[in-house]
Amino acid sequence: MPDIGALLSPSTVAVVGAASDPHILRGRIMHVMGGHPFKGRVYPVSRSSDEVMGLKAYKTISDLPEVVDLAVLIIPAKFVPGALEECGAMGVRAAQIITSGFAEEVGGDGGDMQSHIRAIATKYDMAVCGPNSEGFANMALDFCPTFSPAVDDPDTPLLPEWCNENHIGVVAQSGGMGFAFYDRGRPKQLPFSYVITTGNEACIEGFQLVDYMLDDGNTEVIVMFIEDIKTPEIYATVAEKALRAGKPIIVTKIGHSQAGQRAAASHTAALAGSYSAYNAMFERYGVIEGRDIEEIVDISSGFSFWKDRLPKGKRVGIITGSGGAGGWMADTAVAAGLSVPPLDAKTRALIESHLPSYGTAQNPIDGTAGAIREVGYPNLMKMTAASDEIDAIIAIASARNAARYEPELEQLTVAAHEAEKPIVFNSYTMPKPEGFAVFGRAGFPVFTNMRNTAHVIACMADYRAFRENFLKRPTIGSTSEKPTGVSEMLAKTDGALTEYESKKVLKAYGISIPVEVLAKDAAAAQAGAAEIGGPVALKVQSSDIIHKTEAGAVALGLENAVSVGAAYDQVVTSARAYSPNADIQGVLVQPMARPGREIILGINRDDAFGPMLMVGLGGVYVEVMRDVVFAPAPVRPEEAKAMLQRLRGVALLHGVRGQPAADIKALVDLMVTVSRIASDWRNEIAEIDINPVLVHPKGEGLTIVDALIVKSKPG
């Protein structure tokens, strides 16, 4: 295992390519490092200089007086493999490659050089970060092998003077973005443990660094900027470990919009962009997605201050001296999915006994600025937090001038310390750094963005609820055996299975399919219809005709033998006209389904993450509203239920306006089983569409109207 400790917390460091000129990157990195009191030994390595910034420089790594823990490489790309080889041979345990010009440059030999680097790192089991990276910062060690301007001010300590212990670790593939989180968070007095920018991730991947942070005891909240996840298994292991440890991961994954949708046979595959798989993988482990730099900084701030006392629900009390700000925040909170309930009568009476006659503790609790100052935020917080109606508190302030809050500092500190529910400040004026410092020192985050303020509370409540449910789940038992015969069923074709064949697979897994008959001629269809009884549907079965309706190969609502006979001839004729060379295996005779809530269920195999289960409200609404959700297969029943809850139209399943509630249990069972099929045959099955499923009222099950399984392309 590569020694990530040697990379991030070295005692001895060589900077290969070091220079004194602060106008070039090779010099900037020395100046940035020199601006912070790192206690380790730093050796410049330079071909051209004997001395760099007052330090004796060495010609090569081999010349160094000791074997260093870490080599920082900032030399032209073509020299990197040789230098890395030299490091490996010398016994250097880790390297940080700043140099760019590798796989990110399309068309040159950068890709080959990057492969070479990876091979060397593997050979020597070195912890190699980069290339094409902006370096990193380890705040505890005051160690900053980076040229980032975000840490170039020697007068600004990397950690604020007062900060809580829940440090934030940043891992970012983009150097600019990684240090931007720090640049935004530092003036807000947030404590960072690391900012690590990983560039091309040729060797060490982001989640390996997260894994290290989870163990090293100095990081409680993790922020990531992700361009891609190279090894899904590492992601899954580390994300689960973080969740179990209660250390939230807040990410952005870029590339939503560029995800081109590949041509796909099934409806499900067409609805799945590559981003839907990432989103599903994040949802599985409670990883929180942020939408912009500031939102991510604010979410991490909320967790940094309150991660041990997350809200039990989404009911907020709003304390304000400005009625306008309170009302606006209430609207904003509701828009973010929070509620702003009236306080209970007892709490309300207690608070109002402290407010002037025109104040109100209805919620927002508004006593005008003067009254708020007289009663004090700490008192109001304490009284409000005591209400059982409230899970969290937003205190609104004008934190522009910190001085006016200084006298309350001690009481504020006690209030934060004793609070059992999270309390955050929103400032409608822009605080100076001292304003953030006063509140931060007392134990409160200050947000300046109203939407973020509300959203942070919602994220914290969601995380707590998700984690508690996750920890309650039994650990996965041994997977049951695959049913017999399915292997042969799937072997029949290289392309799409017919509906009849597809349903056989479902049946083998115990999924109930209405009695249906595969007829080879009109007479057999008539006999089948008689056997089934009631109106029937006919559907031509051919692996070559996936979209049967489009081919005119379906007839519905056939009431008697005459119409069945006529329809048989008609659908076969249409199918032949549509696809003259299609191999027609027969015509499926099936009962017309009872009405039910239309659902689309499917599987799409993501190239990176494997099979993804999709569920959505069927019919034209899936097209128009795109109200579908994904989760990695297999899913557990509770995950399937949670997927349904994420549908915007979930109320349709619970029954609205005289419509009965749907049989959600039956639907959940089907989702679990279909996801198991996809998981059992992850190499064989590329796509599944079960569309539509008609879910009948509670207790009455569901009917699978159509099914399609598409095999993976061989090879």
Identify which range of 212-220, 320-328, 465-473, 605-613 contacts a second copy by CB under 8 A.
320-328
CB of 624 to a second copy, least distance (A): 5
* Interface pick for a second copy out of 108, 495, 637, 699 (rule CB under 8 A): 108
**Contact letters for a second copy, residues 129-158 (x by CB under 8 A):** --------------------xx--------
CB of 657 to a second copy, least distance (A): 5
Q: Residue 702's Cα: distance from chain center in Å?
A: 32
Q: Quick check: 109 binds a second copy (CB under 8 A)?
A: no
Q: Quick check: 345 binds a second copy (CB under 8 A)?
A: no
CB nearer to a second copy: give 339 or 411: 339
CA dihedral 145, 151, 154, 156 (to 10 degrees): -140
CB of 33 to a second copy, least distance (A): 19
Residue 78 DSSP code: G
Cα–Cα dist 600/593, whole Å: 15
If one counts every other C-beta atom within 10 angstroms of the C-beta of residue 621, the result is 16
CB of 62 to a second copy, least distance (A): 31
CB nearer to a second copy: give 611 or 618: 618
Residue 262 DSSP code: P
CB of 396 to a second copy, least distance (A): 9
Cα–Cα dist 542/496, whole Å: 9
CB of 216 to a second copy, least distance (A): 26
CB of 289 to a second copy, least distance (A): 11
Tokens of 277: 């798989």
* Interface pick for a second copy out of 286, 302, 326, 618 (rule CB under 8 A): 326
- CA angle 564/565/569 to nearest 5° reads 110
Tokens of 271: 């609805």
Q: Whats the size of the chain, residue-wise?
A: 715
| Residue among 3, 4, 1, 26 nearest 15 (CA) | 26
Tokens of 139: 């705040």
Cα–Cα dist 374/267, whole Å: 63
Touching a second copy, residues 507-536 (CB under 8 A):
none
From residue 175, alpha-carbon distances to 1, 257, 572, 574 in Å are 25, 22, 61, 59
SS3 readout for 263-329: CCCCHHHHHCCHHHHHHHHHHHCCCEECCCHHHHHHHHHHHHHHCCCCCCCCEEEEEECCHHHHHHH
Q: Quick check: 557 binds a second copy (CB under 8 A)?
A: no
* Interface pick for a second copy out of 214, 288, 330, 423 (rule CB under 8 A): 330
Touching a second copy, residues 559-618 (CB under 8 A):
none
CB of 373 to a second copy, least distance (A): 12
| Residue among 444, 432, 375 nearest 402 (CA) | 432
CB of 600 to a second copy, least distance (A): 12
- CA angle 240/246/248 to nearest 5° reads 80
* Interface pick for a second copy out of 165, 358, 510, 713 (rule CB under 8 A): 358
Residue 615, phi then psi, degrees to nearest 5: -135, 145
CB nearer to a second copy: give 349 or 651: 651
Touching a second copy, residues 160-199 (CB under 8 A):
172-177, 179-180, 183-184, 187
* Interface pick for a second copy out of 54, 76, 217, 260 (rule CB under 8 A): 260
CB of 114 to a second copy, least distance (A): 13
Peptide bond into 634 cis (omega under 30): yes
* Interface pick for a second copy out of 82, 157, 337, 342 (rule CB under 8 A): 342
Number of residues that bind a second copy (CB under 8 A): 95
Q: Quick check: 357 binds a second copy (CB under 8 A)?
A: yes
Touching a second copy, residues 295-314 (CB under 8 A):
295
SS3 667: helix
User: Residue 360's beta-bridge partner residues?
Assistant: 366
Q: Quick check: 26 binds a second copy (CB under 8 A)?
A: no
How is 463-498 classified by DSSP, letter by letter? Answer: HHHHHHHHHHSPPP-PPPPPPTTHHHHHHT-SSBPP
* Interface pick for a second copy out of 56, 59, 256, 520 (rule CB under 8 A): 256
**Contact letters for a second copy, residues 383-412 (x by CB under 8 A):** ---------------x-xx-----------
CB nearer to a second copy: give 179 or 303: 179
CB nearer to a second copy: give 174 or 219: 174
Half-sphere exposure of 396 (CA within 13 A, CB side): 29
User: Residue 614's beta-bridge partner residues?
Assistant: 602, 630
* Interface pick for a second copy out of 9, 164, 252, 691 (rule CB under 8 A): 252
SS3 429: coil
Cα–Cα dist 695/662, whole Å: 6
**Contact letters for a second copy, residues 56-85 (x by CB under 8 A):** ------------------------------
| Residue among 392, 422, 708 nearest 547 (CA) | 708
Cα–Cα dist 199/206, whole Å: 10
* Interface pick for a second copy out of 20, 46, 96, 100 (rule CB under 8 A): 100
Q: Quick check: 374 binds a second copy (CB under 8 A)?
A: no
For residue 577, the one-letter residue type is A
CB nearer to a second copy: give 497 or 652: 652
Touching a second copy, residues 431-470 (CB under 8 A):
448-451
SS3 426: strand
SS3 readout for 391-408: CEEEEEECCCCHHHHHHH
Q: Quick check: 23 binds a second copy (CB under 8 A)?
A: no
Q: Quick check: 501 binds a second copy (CB under 8 A)?
A: no
CB of 270 to a second copy, least distance (A): 11
* Interface pick for a second copy out of 105, 434, 544, 700 (rule CB under 8 A): 105
> Angle 409-418/377-385 helices, nearest 10 degrees?
20
Q: Are strands 685-695 and 707-711 parallel, antiparallel or unpaired?
A: antiparallel
CB of 356 to a second copy, least distance (A): 9
CA dihedral 623, 627, 632, 637 (to 10 degrees): -130
Identify which range of 50-58, 211-219, 251-259, 482-490 contacts a second copy by CB under 8 A.
251-259
Cα–Cα dist 152/581, whole Å: 71
Tokens of 369: 């600025």
Touching a second copy, residues 197-236 (CB under 8 A):
225, 227
CB of 527 to a second copy, least distance (A): 31
Touching a second copy, residues 621-680 (CB under 8 A):
621, 623-625, 648-649, 651-652, 656-659
Identify which range of 60-68, 82-90, 262-270, 483-491 contacts a second copy by CB under 8 A.
262-270
CB of 99 to a second copy, least distance (A): 13
CB nearer to a second copy: give 454 or 589: 454
Say if CB 207 and CB 222 are below 8 A apart: no
Touching a second copy, residues 266-285 (CB under 8 A):
266-268
CB nearer to a second copy: give 293 or 582: 293
CB of 192 to a second copy, least distance (A): 15
CB nearer to a second copy: give 324 or 485: 324
